A = this chain, B = another copy of it.
C-alpha cells in the first residue's frame, strides 16, 4: 500500500512559493477573479438568503466578510456562506476532468486571510496546493466515484480546503496528514441533490469542514494517517476505482490548475458552442433579431439529451433549452445571467426567434463543437463551424473576457467603480501584502 496520504502531505508542507511557475500563479489570479464574480453575482440569491437567515445568529465575531454583502461573520461561517454563493449560479470554474476547483477552497482561504494577516503570495500558493490536492484525489477515484452518485466538488473539495488552510497554518507533515484525514472523514455530498439548494451547500460545507480540519490538526487533533488509501479509507469506501499514482505522480512538476476552465455563458457547457457561433455571426455581420428567418444548428447528440426544452417557462428551464440559448444569443449578443433569468426567457423577441430554431444531432461532433447556419430574411445564408467553444482549454477565455464576465456579474451589486477596483486587486493578488484586501473590496460597506 503506497503511503499516498503521507506523500501528499509531505509535498504540501515542503512546497515553496518559488516552486510555482509564473503561468500557474497567473491562472490563480484568473480563478480568483472568476470566483469572486460568481460569488458576488449570486449574493442576493434565495439560497444565500436562506442560509444566512438560518445561521447568522450562531455566528461568532465579525471576522470575515460575505462577498457582495455587508454582513461580517466568523471565519467558519464566512467560508460556508461564500462557498454556497460560489456555486449557486453554476457559473464557477471547472477542472477539465472533474471538480469545480475554486468554490471549496477560495472561500476558506479568503476568510482565513481576513482573520490572520496573509500575504497575497501565500494565498496564491495555498490555493494552488489546495487545487492540486482536491483535483488529484478526485481524479484518482474518477469517474466511478462520480458515477456512484457522489458530488465530487463536495467530496474532494473538502481535501482542497484542508490542504490550503493547512498550508497557511504552517502545519508540519504529521499534522498535514491528520488534516487530510479529518477532511476524509467529513467528505460528503450526493448528486441526488442536483436541482435543489443543497447542490451549493456542498462546496460551502467542504470549505467549512476543510478549514475546520486544518484548524483541528494544528492543535494535534489526530486522525488515521492513511485516510485516503487504507482499505477503509476515503478511496475504497467512496469509490470502486482508486489509482494512487494519480495523486503522487509528478507532484510539483505539473499543476492541475493549468487545466482549469471558465464558463463564458451562464448555462451548461454543452450549449456553449451553439451560443458561441450565434454571437460570432451576430457581431461580425451586425445582425439584429429582425434580420433572421431561421437558425439551424448541428450539435453533438448529448446536447439534445440534456437541453431539448422547446418552451422553457423559467430562467432555470431556459438553461436546458438550446433553442432559447441560441435565440437569446442573437437577440442580446450575450448569454449571461440576465439571458437566463425569468425575464430573459419571457422576452417576446426571444420567444419569437426561439420557435424558428432547429437542432439536429450529429454524432461526429464533440460536445463543445457545433455548426450554426443562419438564413436571413433577405435570403442570405451565413454559417459558422465552432470547433472549440470559448472557455475550453483549446480556446480559453482571455483575461479581457474574464473581466467582461466579472463586470456583468458584479456591476449591479458593487457598482462600476468598486468592480473595477476589485478587478485590479485580483490581478495584483500575488503582490498584495494583505490578501484580506480582496475580501474587503468584494464586500459592501
Q: Which residues of A contact B (CB under 8 A)?
A: 47, 50-51, 53-55, 57-61, 63, 74-77, 148-151, 154, 181-182, 184-193, 195-198, 201-202, 205, 209, 212, 215-216, 218-224, 226-227, 230-234, 236-237
Contact = CB atoms under 8 A, between A and B. Distances in A.
A354 B394 CA distance: 72
A185 to B, nearest CB: 5
B54 A234 contact: no
A190 B184 contact: yes
Contact of A185 (B75, B190, B222, B237): B190
18 contacts: A47-B221, A50-B216, A51-B216, A51-B219, A55-B215, A58-B74, A58-B75, A58-B77, A59-B60, A151-B185, A181-B193, A185-B201, A190-B227, A192-B227, A192-B233, A195-B224, A198-B221, A198-B222
Given A193-B224, A226-B192, A149 B236 contact: yes
B186 A188 contact: yes
Contacts of A221: 47, 50-51, 54, 197-198, 201
B53 A219 contact: yes
A184 to B, nearest CB: 6
Given A60-B60, A63-B58, A186-B205, A224 B192 contact: yes
A198 B162 CA distance: 15
Nearest to A221: B50
A150 B237 contact: yes
Contacts of A212: 54-55
A40 to B, nearest CB: 21
Contacts of A224: 190, 192-193, 195-196, 198
B220 A50 contact: yes
A85 to B, nearest CB: 14
A190 B54 contact: no
B188 A188 contact: yes
A233 B190 contact: yes
A102 to B, nearest CB: 21
Given A51-B219, A54-B221, A198-B221, 15 more contacts: A54-B219, A57-B61, A148-B237, A149-B233, A149-B236, A154-B185, A182-B201, A184-B190, A184-B192, A186-B189, A195-B224, A197-B221, A197-B223, A201-B216, A205-B209
B50 A237 contact: no
Contacts of A230: 192
A75 B59 CA distance: 10
Contacts of A219: 50-51, 53-54
A215 B77 CA distance: 14
A198 to B, nearest CB: 4
